[in-house]
Structure 1
Amino acid sequence: MSLKRFISKYFSNHTETSETHKDPELVTHYYKAKRDEVFQAVEALFPSPSEKVALSKERGEISINYKGKRKAFVVATIIMVRPFETAVDFSVTTDSGGPIDFGFSHNLIVDAYEKLNRQFTRHDKAQ
């Protein structure tokens, strides 16, 4: 791991996924499933005491005040690319009282993707 990637992973309070992210764990995940099924699964990833701030099925966005080991604001974007092909992206900002969360936001995204990978068949965009 390069020094720049190490610093951005552990010494930041914000992490988000993208199609061309340098960290392979943070590349957009695609699932062979209907958007509504994936939307419901993402909703279920953040149970109480976390609060759903906003849900927009039309836009495919869920905003959550995460309350777990630490507090964080999570935005999940669920987009149907084609029938039975749904993309999921996350953006997490930790409310750590400072500019550092020691990888918490990164790990929250990785854990969410791992749970979705157990529920749905994943495939790369290139397929």
Structure 2
Amino acid sequence: MSIKHTLQKYFSKQTETKEDHFDEKLRTHYYKSTKDKVMKEIESMLSQMQGFKIASISEEHGEIIVHITKGKKAFMVITVIMVKPFRTAVDLSISTDSFLFTDLGYSRKLVYELYSEMNKRMSFVGTSLGDRLIQS
């Protein structure tokens, strides 16, 4: 990990997952399920967690908007995309509402916790499978 990535990791108010993220834990997660089932499971999971309030759900766009009041206040967008039958990708973006220039890793830790909980609830296939999906 470069110095830039280290600084970015600790001095940021936002964490976003993506296919080729330098932090392996923050790469896109894939589940063996349909988009609708994944969205319903995430909705169920969030409704059971304290401090998470679902603001809106767009089934057609595959997005769930969440306000987080547990710990530090934050705003989260969960994107769910079915890339092929029974292969669904989930990405998270969390922005912390803080007067500081950093959230001291809060948003990153929250992504780790949410992905961990999703992996327990759904059939986890792997991370960063986009390149392999294009080839198949």
Regarding TM over 0.5, the answer is yes
Matched pairs, number: 127
Which residue of the partner structure matches residue 74 of structure 1?
76
Go from structure 1 to structure 2 and tell me whether the alpha carbon gap of 1:44 and 1:98 turns closer, same or farther (over 3 Å shift). Answer: farther
Match of 2:109, as an amino acid?
Answer: N
Q: Distance in 2 between matches of 1:23 and 1:87?
A: 17
Is the Cα–Cα contact under 8 Å of residues 74 and 91 in structure 1 kept in the other structure?
yes
Q: Distance in 2 between matches of 1:37 and 1:87?
A: 12
- Which string of whole-angstrom CA distances, capped at 9 and with x for unpartnered residues, describes residues 2-54 of structure 1? 43222211210001011111110111001001211210122233335432222
Is the Cα–Cα contact under 8 Å of residues 76 and 90 in structure 1 kept in the other structure?
yes
Which residue of the partner structure matches residue 57 of structure 1?
59
Q: How does 1:43-54 map to 2 (within 5 A)?
A: 43-47=43-47, 48-54=50-56
Q: Distance in 1 between matches of 2:46 and 2:5?
A: 27
Which residue of the partner structure matches residue 20 of structure 2?
20
Match of 2:102, as an amino acid?
Answer: I
Identity of aligned residues (%): 40
In structure 2, runs of 5+ residues without a counterpart are: none
Hey, which of these two has a bigger chunk of helix by percent? 2
TM-score, normalised via structure 1 length: 0.91
Q: Distance in 2 between matches of 1:61 and 1:15?
A: 17
CA-atom RMSD, angstroms? 1.5
Q: Distance in 1 between matches of 2:30 and 2:99?
A: 33
Q: 3-state DSSP class of the match of 1:74?
A: strand
Q: Distance in 2 between matches of 1:45 and 1:7?
A: 32
Match of 1:61, as an amino acid?
Answer: E
In structure 1, runs of 5+ residues without a counterpart are: none
